[in-house]
Amino acid sequence: MHLTYVLMSAVVTVSVAGASYAAMNPERAERNAREVASQATCRTVDSAIVAYVGLHDEAPRQIDDLTDFVDGDISRYRIVGGLAAGPGCRR
């Protein structure tokens, strides 16, 4: 095999590895995953509010009213104007 082929293969391999690492930035991937999870949790809290209203014919007064409708910690959320407010919410 010619030395130029070996060198060209090495250059291509290194450039692909560098591009792959840049595309798969672990910190950015984690930040994006947390943002998506927060948005999903916000929608879950909104759904719990709807379920609460359907069951009790009135809006929940505080976030603790929703603990029976949601698995997990929703303590960082609050209810504002009948909708969830907190991480990932657009209000």
Listed by start position, the domains of the chain span: 3-85
Q: Are 78 and 87 in contact (CB under 8 A)?
A: no
SS3 content of the chain, % helix, strand, coil (to 5): 60, 5, 30
How confident is the model over 76-88, as pLDDT tens digits?
899 999 999 998 8
How confident is the model over 20-61, as pLDDT tens digits?
665 677 788 788 888 888 777 889 999 999 999 999 999 999
